[in-house]
Structure 1
């Protein structure tokens, strides 16, 4: 099942995506509740979908398929880290700590942007970038679960784009923490959520999903990879996140960028900004086998972007009154 939230004739709806159309579900349908239904109940729901309306995909405006309370973004593709480290000080090697456990950062759920929506150019940056990722959606709260138990908590998958202002991010991370304003302005999930049963045919013996991933800018492909190159399974990511902590129902856990899935990685490998950073008018489309295509366009800046003043430091004398 592919379940989506969308707007049609000015009203929000939930529907099932099938054969190029969105088939409506009854008013009041909740996405997370639907994803948690047993498979036979999901199949019955699919069979009855569309009684109110059936709309071609191109005639609806998609909404974020879920509204999570928390989102985690991992860095789980080794090849991406290898490329990124080439642009950083040091010997360009992946830190040993990366191999010990899947690291993640928390993202701003209020910045979730709809599939197809414009992404306003963030202020104070000259290095806007995309990130090609896949996210798992957790159906029921999990704490201290094993990877085997974690599979029962994953109720869907979707494409994820974690937009990044690389110049701002680079300055922030010199402080010794993760990125903040370099990333919290936008992230995109969708265009719909695909349930695990539809992806079982792509599952390898080691538990990884072998899905083709690619990205284009204005129709020109700039990167591709396979989801099976993920260094941990989704079940292992959920298990790790749940260690001595709650992973809540509806939470989104993203893989982090795949190999060649961002401009910054390509810049690190090439030693120059080629292809150039994103600019107003660029259209970025991410396609993942079995999950669809997620497209957004960069639009003009809307934020005033007023910077705060530099810190007052005890190393500097205070100004006289």
Structure 2
């Protein structure tokens, strides 16, 4: 199923996208489905069969035209959100562009960092301020959502715990990120203002998943267009680490719960930091008004527009707004700028 969270007349509801593009409003069709997405995920054994039966024979009174509603992120308030670093091409290229060798630890274990699960957006506007616009970047990713508890998971348990997949844009304010990473504490202000998810959460039964000894692999082309120009082109199956491996590592020694979001990290060619450093693009960064379209085969098109709001902070450093910008590609052993 292609599951959505949407606003209708100011009320948040969940539903499914049907083959003809119309939206099945679960609450209008079945009172037991008048829940949010996290509840549907947690109670999937009981609620998903009801939802699937309704999608197979939808009542006309519960069908909505897609133009009459506003899509939100499929999981607007995940319990947590991690982002990975799973695509070797992206990591190696980003390091090479900064004069650094490939880090050998990349092949030893998958890594993630926690990002702001309270700053999730869906399709539509992504609101930024001036400091974000100092080399604003997109990141073309895929994310999974956990559907079962996990702790010290095997690869098989990790795969079984994945509820579904969706497109993810890990927006990055590169100037803020470059400065804060020198302190070796991980990304924060360069990442915490927005992460876009959507347009749908696609359950695993809808997808072409190959079972391997390392975990399931999704074969799906990934692209990004900015203002109608194709910039990025990759495939989910080029992940060096599978989502099962990432979840196995993430669940070591801790209890994970249904409704947590885990991103793949950036696919090769999947951000301007990488493309500019490789001279594929010429110092191109996002600006207010730009339309960014991420598309993953089977997962849909996530369309966002960069929208600037007035800067409210005083004393904005001049090197961040209109001043001299440091070189993002100079090698620095004290910080990582690959994601």
Matched with 1:32 is 38
Deviation at 1:42, TM superposition (A): 4.4
Matched with 1:103 is 111
Over 3 Å counting, the alpha-carbon distance change for 1:10 and 1:243 in structure 2 is same
Secondary structure of residue in 2 paired with 1:260: coil
- Does the CA contact (< 8 Å) of 1:144 and 1:239 recur in 2? yes
1:50-70 deviation digits (Å, cap 9, x = unpaired): 554322323321112111121
Give structure 1 stretches of 5+ with no counterpart. 310-321
Matched with 1:20 is 21
Deviation at 1:92, TM superposition (A): 2.6
Over 3 Å counting, the alpha-carbon distance change for 1:171 and 1:24 in structure 2 is same
- Does the CA contact (< 8 Å) of 2:125 and 2:306 recur in 1? no
- Does the CA contact (< 8 Å) of 2:151 and 2:253 recur in 1? yes
Over 3 Å counting, the alpha-carbon distance change for 1:83 and 1:301 in structure 2 is farther
* Alignment of 1:191 onto 2:199: yes
TM-score, normalization by structure 1: 0.88
- Does the CA contact (< 8 Å) of 2:85 and 2:91 recur in 1? yes
1:240-274 deviation digits (Å, cap 9, x = unpaired): 1000112222000000100111000111212x862
Matched with 1:81 is 91
Paired residues for 1:101-250 under 5 Å: 101-123=109-131, 125-199=133-207, 201-203=208-210, 205=212, 207-250=216-259
- Does the CA contact (< 8 Å) of 1:135 and 1:160 recur in 2? yes
Secondary structure of residue in 1 paired with 2:247: helix
Aligned length: 305
1:123-158 deviation digits (Å, cap 9, x = unpaired): 264200000100000012211111111112111111
Q: State which drifts further: 21-30 or 120-129.
A: 120-129
- Does the CA contact (< 8 Å) of 1:123 and 1:304 recur in 2? no
TM-score, normalization by structure 2: 0.84
Deviation at 1:226, TM superposition (A): 0.5
Q: Could you tell me how far apart the structure 2 residues matched to 1:22 and 1:113 are? A: 20
Secondary structure of residue in 1 paired with 2:199: strand
Say what the alpha-carbon RMSD is for the aligned residues: 2.1
Q: Could you tell me how far apart the structure 2 residues matched to 1:180 and 1:308 are? A: 18
- Does the CA contact (< 8 Å) of 2:71 and 2:199 recur in 1? yes
1:152-208 deviation digits (Å, cap 9, x = unpaired): 211111101110011111111111121111111111111110000000x34365621
Deviation at 1:305, TM superposition (A): 3.4
Deviation at 1:121, TM superposition (A): 4.0
- Does the CA contact (< 8 Å) of 1:204 and 1:210 recur in 2? no
- Does the CA contact (< 8 Å) of 2:126 and 2:194 recur in 1? no
Matched with 1:68 is 78
Matched with 2:306 is 298
Q: State which drifts further: 40-49 or 243-252.
A: 40-49
1:268-304 deviation digits (Å, cap 9, x = unpaired): 212x862510001100000001100001101123441
- Does the CA contact (< 8 Å) of 2:150 and 2:161 recur in 1? yes
- Does the CA contact (< 8 Å) of 1:24 and 1:49 recur in 2? no
Over 3 Å counting, the alpha-carbon distance change for 1:189 and 1:50 in structure 2 is farther
Give structure 2 stretches of 5+ with no counterpart. 318-339
Deviation at 1:93, TM superposition (A): 2.1
Secondary structure of residue in 2 paired with 1:252: strand
